[in-house]
Amino acid sequence: MEDPQPLDRVARIQADWRRERPDVDVSPQGVIGRLHRLADRLTEQLCLVYGHYGLGEGEFDVLCALRRAGAPYERAPGELAAHTMVTTGAMTKRIDRLERAGLVTRRRSGDDQRGRIVALTKAGRELIDEAFTDHMGNERRLVNLLTPAEAASLEALLTAWLSRMEQPPTRDGE
């Protein structure tokens, strides 16, 4: 007879809570706890590639947002903040670091002299093209830990869950 699969960290925590608080349903912790642990492990693995290029996660995101914009690979700082979901203050710090590294430039907007435009430099575009290729290879390696069917099922589940979480709240009767 085979040994039962050992309990993972989340299962051990749940067992402790079931013992201490049998009156509380801890089953959601199985999903949420594992998602948190997985997200942490995935972030560690993704940051290894970013670090190889001298980038942090935030800088990588900014360069990707500029590259995805298409030629001439530029956006206003507010647009960058929206595309990377950070505050404008955090965006300014990221842009400052990228500008010092020679990967982006800032200039005044032609339409509004108070506004600024951030653009990839040639070096920035070359770096992000290479880094993004390696990043996608790394993501492929991580997803390949699942079977194709598991990956497709997980993507469908996560898409549905995220869609429901991101829906604006509705009032009763609407």
Task: Please tell me the predicted confidence (pLDDT) of residue 165.
Answer: 92
The arithmetic mean of pLDDT across residues 50-65, rounded, is 95
Task: Please tell me the predicted confidence (pLDDT) of residue 89.
Answer: 83
Q: What is the 3-state secondary structure (H, E, C) of 18-53?
A: HHHCCCCCCHHHHHHHHHHHHHHHHHHHHHHHHHHC
- pLDDT, tens digit (0-9, with 9 covering 90-100), for 112-148: 656 789 999 999 999 999 999 999 999 999 999 999 9
Domain boundaries, the chain: 9-159
CATH architecture of 9-159: Orthogonal Bundle (1.10)
> Residue 60 CB: number of other CB atoms within 10 A?
23
Mention every residue, 6+ apart, whose C-beta is less than 8 A from residue 174: none
- pLDDT: is 7 or 154 the higher one? 154
**What is the C-alpha separation between 17 and 21, in angstroms, rounded?**
5
Query: Roughly how many angstroms between the first and final C-alpha of the chain, as a whole number?
Result: 56
Task: Please tell me the predicted confidence (pLDDT) of residue 84.
Answer: 82
What are the strands, taking DSSP E only, across the chain? 74-75, 104-108, 116-120
